[in-house]
Amino acid sequence: MSKKGQEMVTPRQYSKLHEVAYTTLMGWLRQGLIEGAIREENPYGVGYYYKLPRNAEMPKLKPGPKPKSQATDETQGDASVEPTKKSASSRKLKTNAEKRARPVKMLRKIMTSSKKEGGTK
């Protein structure tokens, strides 16, 4: 029992009682979103554990992606924005493909020149 007379439970017990994923609950605890939760050091000196009130309310969070920043909204609405150039990574891929083709071309060149000279020794 805690100081206020509430029964304290482990995060695993709380997640089963309130049908919430354990990993989600641990994230909320790390962020300090659950009222009345207590973080205690392990008696062995390594790590910590949580205790929380059995009837603690879950945080009211809105699901979904975070809102975009205002800077990106302003540039998307502007019609005078120039189309983007090819990214450096796409140019790199093209260059790498050319690099892979070079040895093959060199070998063909060597093979054809050796045939013209009369073959290998």
Q: Containing H/E element for 49?
A: strand 48-53
Contact 48, 70 (CB under 8 A): no
- Tell me if residue 54 falls in helix, strand or coil: coil
pLDDT of residue 87: 59
Task: Provide the edge-to-edge strand list for the sheet that holds 8-9.
Answer: 8-9, 48-53, 38-41
Sequential pLDDT tens for the chain (121 residues) = 445 578 999 999 999 999 999 999 999 999 999 999 999 998 888 899 999 999 999 888 877 777 777 555 555 555 555 555 655 555 555 666 666 666 777 777 787 877 777 655 5
